[in-house]
Amino acid sequence: MRSRKLRTVLLAALLTVATSVPGMTNSASAGPAATTNAAQIVADLGVGWNLGNQLEANSNGYPSETAWGNPAVTQALIDKVKAAGFSSIRIPVSYLRSIGAGPNYTIDSAWLNRIQQVVNYAYNRGLRVIINMHGDGYKSIPNAWLICDAANQTEIKAKYQKVWQQVATRFQSYDNRLILESMNENFDGQYGRPTQPCYSNINAYNQIFVDTVRRAGGNNNARWLLVPGWNTNIDYTAGNYGFVVPTDQYRSSSIPSNEQRLMISVHYYSPWDFAGEENGTITQWGRGATNPAKRSTWGQEDYLDSQLKLMYDKFVVRGYPVVVGEYGSIDKTSADSSNNRYRADYARAVVATSKKYGAATVYWDNGHNGQYGFALFNRSNTTTTQQGIIDAIKSAR
């Protein structure tokens, strides 16, 4: 597991929530999902925020939203995020040992209920919501199973299909404010060029996801679906490394033939020595940096522009919106008191450049404040901790 997620595992019991708890009701539309074209869905997503290290957290392979040090998610937290100016929330989710045995692979009902409750915290407030399958594809997570180079691909694909069938069925009445995302940073665990048959399996997972959701009933045949390439890496998604956009043969006939309903997911943490490396060496970024020794030799504004242009040229011009589903930089103020200024510059640049090239952005917040944390809010007392970064994000959109 990459260190930027700061996933220190603290033992906690599996949280179970009954259907009758507050928040299980929703205002989902019973009618067809409204038609929303590519430009409109990006505009509607606006500035996004990740509810990181919560519903994807686990204790010994069991999903547990408090296992990585964050308190249970509350309506008050989501209200705070909305009040701060965010218009969309990405909710990473792990299933792991909450999935029963085959052939049905039934998700534990209490866990699925809790997922829906947290989704409703945002959805019922008018926010756009992205539900992402997250830790099930990490080799470093206990009981992860969505592994692209594992031998048992027939079983993996059957399990994957059943899980998404259950999730899509649960949310079938929700309108186009709900987006489903097939997986997270799926790859073979080696930070190099894509390998086979891994990439072909990732493409197959994406195709299973699209076909399964589309056939799950309700508004699923028209909602936007989000799919990643290799490790959500821009070069390995936009370049000639094997990524295949899924076909969408089961989508609603009401969607205009010249419009897509698929989005492409990438993440952006470049340069890594600034954004995620846990030391005090590189603490400044961008043309405003005052100390060349503290600024990376690569990954500045020109590189950022070239990366988003790659995605624009490959996908956006063909009608496939791009979502930068994670970006951000860790807190290094313990080494450089001016660091937050450059973190704000970085966030502003990612959002502004993404907007220039027709992409939406979702800031990665792991709930950790202080040294090497990504958090913009304190989830325990529902206060804002990085107003400067939030202001930078909003100003760029």
The pairing of beta strand 62-63 with beta strand 58-59 = antiparallel
Among 213, 254, 161, 218, CA closest to 26: 218
On whether the CB atoms of residues 166 and 131 are closer than 8 A, the answer is: no
Residue type, 216: A
Q: Is 185 a catalytic residue?
A: yes
Question: Can you tell me the distance from the alpha carbon of 244 to that of 264, in angstroms, rounded to the nearest whole number?
Answer: 11
Residues 6+ apart with CB under 8 A from 131: 91, 93, 115, 119, 167, 171, 178, 179, 180, 181
User: Can you give the pLDDT at residue 26?
Assistant: 56
Residue ranges of E strands in 290-341: 322-327
On whether the CB atoms of residues 285 and 274 are closer than 8 A, the answer is: yes
Among 138, 54, 132, CA closest to 368: 54
Question: Can you tell me the distance from the alpha carbon of 350 to that of 356, in angstroms, rounded to the nearest whole number?
Answer: 10
Question: Can you tell me the distance from the alpha carbon of 331 to that of 46, in angstroms, rounded to the nearest whole number?
Answer: 24
Question: Can you tell me the distance from the alpha carbon of 40 to that of 30, in angstroms, rounded to the nearest whole number?
Answer: 22
Q: What is the DSSP letter of 104?
A: T
The position carrying tokens 């807190």 is 331
Catalytic one of 155, 185, 259, 277: 185
| List of domains in the chain | 38-396 (3.20.20.80)
pTM: 0.92
- Our measurement of the distance from residue 168's CA atom to the centroid of its chain's CA atoms, rounded to an integer in Å, reads 17
Could you read off the pLDDT tens digit of each residue along the chain, which spans 397 residues?
Answer: 333 444 333 323 323 333 334 455 554 543 444 557 999 999 999 999 999 999 999 999 999 999 999 999 999 999 999 999 999 999 999 999 999 999 999 999 999 999 999 999 999 999 999 999 999 999 999 999 999 999 999 999 999 999 999 999 999 999 999 999 999 999 999 989 999 999 999 999 999 999 999 999 999 999 999 999 999 999 999 999 999 999 999 999 999 999 999 999 999 999 999 999 999 999 999 999 999 999 999 999 999 999 999 999 999 999 999 999 999 999 999 999 999 999 999 999 999 999 999 999 999 999 999 999 999 999 999 999 999 999 999 999 8
The pairing of beta strand 62-63 with beta strand 225-228 = unpaired
User: Can you give the pLDDT at residue 36?
Assistant: 78
- What are the φ/ψ torsions at residue 180 (nearest 5 degrees)? -105, 140
